[in-house]
Structure formats: C-alpha cells, structure tokens
Amino acid sequence: MFYLKTRKVLGAIFRYLVIILTGAMVAATTYILIVPNDFAPSGITGICVMVQYKLGISIGWLNLAVNFPLCVIAFCMGFKQFAVKSYIFALSYSFTYLMMQKWNPEWLQYNANGQDTILPVLIAGVLSGFATVIAYELNGSQCGTDVVSKILSEKKPEFNFFWVSFAINASVALISLFVYSDVVDGVMVLDYKPVALCVLYCLSDSMLADIIFRDQKEAAQIVVITPFPDEVLDLVTKKTHHTATRLEGIGTYSGQSKAILIFIVNKFQVPGIKRDLKNYDQTFCYITPVSETVGWFDSRKVGKTKRFSMRDAIEESSKEDKIKFKE
C-alpha cells in the first residue's frame, strides 16, 4: 500500500514538473524566436505580444492577468485539475519570460533581421504544437483559447469551437497588419509580412499537434480466419500485448469450422503480424484502419464497482442456466 501511494505521489510530481518545464520552453520560444522577429503568434499569446510591442507592458504580466479569470471560471465549472495545471503552465511561462526579460540574454535571440524570417516562425510553431500535445496528455493546456474551448464545450457541447479559434487567430493576424506597420511622412505604410508569419505559425502549430494526436488515436483492426486459433492468438498476444475477440465460423466452400479472431492493434504492429501469419496454413486476414478507439480495459468505472472478469461472466451465465433448468 505504501509503495502504491508513493508511486502515485511521485507520478503526480513528475506530471506537474513536466508542465512547468513545458511552460518554460514555450516562454523561451517567445523570447528567443517570436519577439525579436516582430510577429504575433496565434491566440491570446499573440494579443499579449502585440500589446508589449505597442505599449511596453511585459508579456509575462499580461499572460497572468488574462489567464487568471479564465482558469478561475474553468475551476468553478468543475474542471479543477485542468484549471490548476493550466494556470501552473501560465505561471511557469510568465516567470521564465520575466526572468529572461530581466537578464536580457540577447546572444540567445534569433533575429533574422527581415531575412529568412520563416525559419524562426516554423521552429516556434513546431515547439508550440509539441507543447500543446504534452499539456493535453497531462490534462492541462497552454491557457488562452484552450481554456475558452473547455468552457464552451461544457456550456454548449454542440457548438463548434473551430470557429471561435479561427475568429481569434484571424483577428490577431488582421490586427498585426496595423500594429507592425510604420508611419512614413504621416502616411501609414502597411506591412503584410507579420500577417503571413502569423498564419504560418498557426499552420505549423496546429498541423504538428494534429499529426501527433491522430497517430495516437489511429489503430488497425485485423480479422484473422484460421484453423489454428490458439497458436495465432498466443503469437499475437505475446507480440502486441493485446487479446482478441473470438468467433466461430464455417467456410461455405469447404464446410470446415474455422475461428475468426478480431484484433485491435497499433498500426505500427501490423507489418510484423502480417509476416508471422504467413507461417500458418489455410490462414488469411484482412486489415482495416480504425480512426479512433474509445475505452480502456480496466476495472475502474464510475462509482465503486466490483471487478467483473470473463470468468465471472461465465459463472454468472451458468447460474442463470441452473435457475432456468430448476424452473
């Protein structure tokens, strides 16, 4: 029991430490790659960057001020762990940015000087997308529009948050057109480059996060028809650590009984299974992609419930059969 409690505490500490380090990474990205190249990233962070550019108010303080009420609302709506982890991310982000701003290590900054600006934008977008995935996996977020998304999903589940995110990012890109423009002889000269950089940042951020999320969700269904079910099941289970659903079938041409095994496995495990199945005679399979799997093979349910295994199901079924026989 003590071991389990210790392991649980250490696991929680590790997760919060990862969130803190991720927030520090994103803050360093903002200071090193974004601010020196005069463009606004996506979301509320982009608004903070433009306010600092125009008014001189530090992004660190703005980030705390904007995200605090959002996280409080999320906390009060029942997303307690999500809100706490998200604001810890914001605290780490703001602390790191303020410290870097104070020490001002200019040698770290990547200033493209208007040439090849696409490089720092791509690097910043990729790192932001990576941070989004980490925060999401730990039931947290980078705050800003992520928290707004969580709040809206609770209040209006049918509402498509894509349009809210699109509206915020489009507004940031449009506003940056005027924020980063110069006035020459009393005439405003519009600079469209920050708009293009903002759009590129949004694309690289969202595309990387989407690719990682999609790879995590996608799987493959392998349906194996074989006269050697026990051998095949043992082989695939040892290789993938996944069991199968077994059905019995009869071939309409031969009239022979064969087993039908249905596996859901990681798509990267498919080539190895295909190669091994070639060793079994009269065995074939077909493979279909699975866009997402939902559920977890665990005894944890809503409320306190007893672990209900396959053996329990068989015993329960036999009891019902005995009762019916007595009747």
Helix segments in 104-182, DSSP class H: 118-137, 145-155, 161-179
Sign (positive/negative) of CA torsion 305, 306, 309, 315?
A: negative
Structure tokens at 326: 């007595």
Please tell me whether residues 209 and 225 are part of one structural domain: no
Residue 177: count of CB within 10 angstroms of its CB: 15
pLDDT attached to residue 127: 93
Sign (positive/negative) of CA torsion 275, 276, 282, 284?
A: negative
Q: Which domain holds residue 256?
A: 218-327
pLDDT attached to residue 159: 61
Please tell me whether residues 138 and 282 are part of one structural domain: no
Please tell me whether residues 263 and 197 are part of one structural domain: no
3 state DSSP class of 257: strand
Q: How far is CA 125 from CA 19, 40, 95, 224, 269, in A?
A: 18, 11, 21, 43, 31
Please tell me whether residues 180 and 170 are part of one structural domain: yes
pLDDT attached to residue 47: 92
Please tell me whether residues 319 and 172 are part of one structural domain: no
Please tell me whether residues 190 and 278 are part of one structural domain: no
Choosing from 178, 199, 216, the residue where a domain stops is 216
Task: Report how far residue 211's alpha carbon sits from residue 177's, in angstroms, rounded to the nearest whole number.
Answer: 30
Please tell me whether residues 201 and 274 are part of one structural domain: no
pLDDT attached to residue 201: 92
pLDDT attached to residue 241: 80
Whether residue 262 contacts residue 242, with contact meaning beta carbons closer than 8 Å, is answered with: no
CATH number at residue 258: 3.30.70.120
Please tell me whether residues 52 and 75 are part of one structural domain: yes
pLDDT (tens place) for every residue of the chain, 327 residues total? 666 778 888 888 999 999 999 999 999 999 999 999 999 998 889 999 999 999 999 999 999 999 999 999 999 988 899 999 999 999 999 999 999 999 988 888 888 887 878 899 999 999 999 998 899 888 889 988 888 887 877 777 666 566 677 778 888 889 998 999 888 877 888 888 999 999 999 888 888 887 877 776 778 898 999 988 899 988 888 888 878 889 998 888 878 888 999 988 887 788 888 888 888 888 888 899 887 777 655 544 444 444 444 444 444 444 444 444 444
Please tell me whether residues 103 and 223 are part of one structural domain: no
Q: Work out how many domains the chain is built from and give that number.
A: 2
Residue type, 275: R
pLDDT attached to residue 268: 77
Please tell me whether residues 6 and 86 are part of one structural domain: yes
Please tell me whether residues 96 and 152 are part of one structural domain: yes
Sign (positive/negative) of CA torsion 288, 294, 296, 297?
A: negative
Task: Report how far residue 287's alpha carbon sits from residue 220's, in angstroms, rounded to the nearest whole number.
Answer: 7
Choosing from 149, 182, 216, the residue where a domain stops is 216
Choosing from 187, 216, 245, the residue where a domain stops is 216
Task: Report how far residue 246's alpha carbon sits from residue 224's, in angstroms, rounded to the nearest whole number.
Answer: 10
pLDDT attached to residue 300: 47
Please tell me whether residues 150 and 121 are part of one structural domain: yes
